[in-house]
Amino acid sequence: MATYLDAAAGAPLHPVARTALLAALDDGWADPARLYGAARRARLLLDAARESVAADLGARPDEISFAANATQARHAAVLGALAGNRRSPGLVHSAVEHSAVLHAAARHVEQGGHATAIPVDRFARVDVEAFVATATAPGVAAAALQAANHEVGTTQPVSDVAAALGRVPLVVDATQTVGHADLPAGWSVLAADARTWGGPTLGVLGVRTGTRWRSPYPEDEGESGRIPGTPDLPAIVAAAASLRAVEVTRAADAARHHTLIDRIRAAVATIPDVEVLGDPDDRLPHLVTFSCLYVDGESLLGALDRRGFAVSSGSSCTSSTLEPSHVLVAMGALTSGNLRVSLHHATADADVDGFLAVLPGAVAEIRAALGAAGL
């Protein structure tokens, strides 16, 4: 079985999540909106799970809703913030937001609004002054700034931006941060992904009390009135249980992951013509991306897979389309030969040792196949 080092795309199911999921399948199968006994038990489970997730996110229970997945949560976060401020047609976002946020921005433009992308530096970080100046201009309905970049791990100055925005709601994509690092203060609307902390497929949507947010979906019965449809209660229970479990050990896990990522960063920097991307200090503890000159990223992924290691190549959110990573383009970085390594709760030191042992040979193999050896 391959060693899994692509946790940013989704961590293996946490043992606590598995236990909670199986239990909830037995006890939480009924519709929590009904009034009979099984439904009341389901409602108790739903309320307890919501309270648990809210506590871990520093929110109120009524501020938390659950979506089918993280993509739906991101779409609802952005489009709902815009729908709540229809008199102002503008959206401001960083140039390196996840593709789901950019797709929501594109839909907004198609419907007559406008969106402005703020450039980033070579670490993929926005400038606070430039972002705030654009976001506080007349006609802006909402701003979107990720807590940390999903491809290179650089943290964004969310708290500083939020403090200067005034009444403009700030949508924060925290899908790579929750369960791994402290959540920045100041978010108005938040999206999170249970898969990244070892939960099942489930998105989390947070809307702060007092934020002007309106559901972009047709009116229907739904989860807290924000996400339509009957909630997936077993998944919600499992996500809440696993988030609580990883929060208990997060400080220790983050320190261990930070050390392991430092080892990876140092080791790959010794391979000729390899550049480590993202901020070396202000970054997520569990993720690193690097670019290899004279190497095709997909070929390198295959070479590592044959050696027993599952990693991500190219853009984490657009690689299936074979389009260059918009994140790396915005940074001015090499857009081919990229590899992202991300760790999870069960990653062992030996897993990283094994990866570093085979990486130089895999790079050399691809370069030789392309006739680029020794360049």
Nearest Cα residue to 53 out of 183, 153, 230, 155: 183
Q: In whole angstroms, what is the distance from residue 116 CA to residue 91 CA?
A: 6
CB 220 within 8 A of CB 212: no
- Phi first, then psi, for residue 373 (nearest 5°) are -65, 135
> Any catalytic annotation for residue 317?
yes
Per residue in 240-253, is it b (16+ CB within 10 Å) or e — as a string? bbbbbbbbeebeeb
Report in angstroms the alpha-carbon separations of 122 from 33, 126, 272: 50, 10, 21
Indicate the SS3 state at residue 190.
strand
Please give the structure tokens belonging to residue 362: 């895999």
The vertex-352 CA angle with 96 and 300, nearest 5°, equals: 60
- Relative to beta strand 222-223, strand 203-207 is unpaired
Structure-token match 């991307």, residue found? 277
Residue 352 CA to its chain's centroid (Å): 22
Q: Are 70 and 287 in contact (CB under 8 A)?
A: no
Question: Where does the chain show beta strands of DSSP type E?
Answer: 3-4, 64-67, 90-94, 114-118, 140-144, 170-173, 189-193, 203-207, 222-223, 227-228, 274-277, 287-292, 309-310, 312-313, 338-342
Whether 218 contacts 228, CB under 8 Å: yes
223 token code pair: 């989860």
Of 57, 181, 239, 317, the catalytic one is: 317
Catalytic residues: 317
